[in-house]
Amino acid sequence: MIVAEKMVRYLENSSWIRRMFEEGTRLKAIHGAKNVFDFSLGNPDVPPPESVLKKMSELSLSMNHGYMANAGYADVRGAVASYASGLYEVPLGADDIVMSCGAGGGLNAVLKAVTNPGDEIVAISPYFVEYGFYAENHGGTLVAAPSGPGFLPSLENISRAMSARTRAIIVNSPNNPTGRVYPQETLAGLAGLLKDRPDVLVISDEPYRRLVYGGRPVPSVLKEIPNSVVVTSASKELSLAGERIGYIAVGPGIEDRERLVGALVLATRILGFVNAPALMQQVYASCLGESVDVALYEERRNLFTGILDSAGLEYAPPEGAFYLFVKSPGEDDVAFCGALLEENILAVPGRGFGWPGFVRFTYCVSVESIRGCGPGLQRVAARLGGKGPARR
């Protein structure tokens, strides 16, 4: 067989998100797009800010589109460092920034730079489904640390998940799939837990930082945890998911900072990214601080939670991002998703996020689609035994 055994295993256990998205494509071809309610993929439908589109058009005709340093353009990295210093409340310079091919590319560059074969990467469950693949890409193994009440990290569970082989802990706030924002005291507790483990890097995956509701603050991991890096992107905050642009910010508390940055730059090259997209680097640097209209997502969140309340389904109230993590009536998340499919509703089983018994719905979709799913969702909940509007 020409295909690697590992890839065969991956294909057999491939991402539930993509699997449901592909099922949605099939159903739309049969029933028409307006009759299929697809909440499977976090692919923003809110358009990018007009200023971003204008800058893309302007720069595409005037800039050099050739190679640059693997870390990215020096002026872009300087602009990002200046912006990120204020955002994360720590001093950062251009040499602390590595431009990346989105957050996914950034996470792989970080894990390539720090992971030895056999190392363990701790992720707080529920977690983004690709983390396990990313860890294995570089010879590591993902170890889950289940979250505690309210889907906040449990320091006890993190400590239990750690071993002498632990190389990194991935933190994701606002969280995919729960929408939970981790408070400052949680990060401070994690810093305390790691005070005697300078060999462990905290990797903060933050593509949803700008998508929060009610002015809720998102505490700075770089400020709270000395041995940390941030990986982020413009995919969600600027609705540029397909353009694959982001950055890695290396915190000032890392002792071997210069060597880590060098490893990140080398990893960017040898992983085949070479450099982040030239045009999008310049666009990103020109539009720092811009964001899509978060009120649009908040309106959709409120509409969707109203439907869930009427259906008697429990869920984690999102404080950020654009996901609802809903408790499955009858406990079986795959069965719940199967019943939803009968109503042309697509959601993703929680077991794909390391948390069986829940299902993830995205609401970066049209208001019409959210409204349209209501009758079918209520029929499924009634059939499977929704318990009432109490929330986890």
**CB of 240 within 8 A of CB of 90?**
no
pLDDT of residue 387: 54
pLDDT of residue 187: 97
Do the beta carbons of residue 140 and residue 167 sit within 8 Å?
Answer: yes
Which two structure tokens, joined as six digits, stand for 210? 């700008």
- Closest CA relative to residue 345, chosen from 365, 321, 331: 365
Fold of 5-48+293-384: Aspartate Aminotransferase, domain 1 (3.90.1150)
Q: Which residue has the tokens 């002792």?
A: 255
Residue with token string 């408790």: 327
User: Which residues lie below 8 Å from residue 264, measured CB to CB, with a gap of 6+?
Assistant: 71, 98, 109, 110, 113, 248, 250
Task: Give me the tens of pLDDT residue by residue for the chain, a chain 392 residues long.
Answer: 799 988 888 776 666 676 777 777 787 778 777 888 999 988 999 999 999 999 999 999 999 999 999 999 999 999 999 999 999 999 999 999 999 999 999 999 999 999 999 999 999 999 998 999 999 999 999 999 999 999 999 999 999 999 999 999 999 999 999 999 999 999 999 999 999 999 999 999 999 999 999 999 999 999 999 999 999 999 999 999 999 999 999 999 998 999 999 999 999 999 999 999 999 999 999 999 999 999 999 999 999 999 999 999 999 899 999 999 999 998 899 999 999 999 999 999 999 899 999 999 999 999 999 999 999 999 999 998 755 444 44
- What are the backbone dihedrals phi and psi of residue 143, each rounded to the nearest 5 degrees, phi first? -120, 125
CB 191 within 8 A of CB 184: no
Return the DSSP state at 90.
S
Instruction: Spell out the residues 6+ positions from residue 333 whose beta carbon is closer than 8 angstroms to its own.
Output: 349, 350, 351, 356, 357, 358, 359
* Contact criterion met (CB below 8 Å) for 58 and 42: no
Q: What CATH class has 66-286? A: alpha beta
In 3D space, the residue among 111, 62, 52, 51 whose CA is nearest the CA of residue 234 turns out to be 52
Helix (H, G, I), strand (E, B) or coil at 327: strand
pLDDT at position 14 is 63
**The Cα angle at residue 392 between residues 318 and 126, in degrees rounded to 5:** 65
Contacts of 376 (CB under 8 A, 6+ apart): 37, 340, 343, 344, 345
Please tell me the predicted confidence (pLDDT) of residue 390: 40
State the virtual CA torsion across 222, 228, 231, 232 in degrees, nearest 10: -20
Q: Which element (helix H / strand E) includes 205?
A: strand 201-205
| Residue ranges of domains in the chain | 5-48+293-384, 66-286
Taking phi first (over 0 means left), then psi (-120 to 50 degrees means alpha), and beta for anything else, what does residue 310 get? alpha
pLDDT of the residue at 32? 75
Residues 310, 27, 19, 211: is their CA dihedral positive or negative?
A: negative
Going by their DSSP bridges, the two strands 97-100 and 246-250 should be labelled as antiparallel
Name the residue among 19, 9, 1 with its Cα closest to residue 341: 19
Burial of 150 (0-12, 13-18, 19+ CB in 10 A): exposed
Burial degree of 13 (CB within 10 A; 0-12, 13-18, 19+): exposed
The two tokens of residue 235 are 């995919």
Beginning with the edge strand found earlier in the chain, give each strand of the sheet holding 323-327 in spatial order: 315-316, 323-327, 358-362, 348-349
Give the Cβ contact number of residue 9 at 10 Å: 11
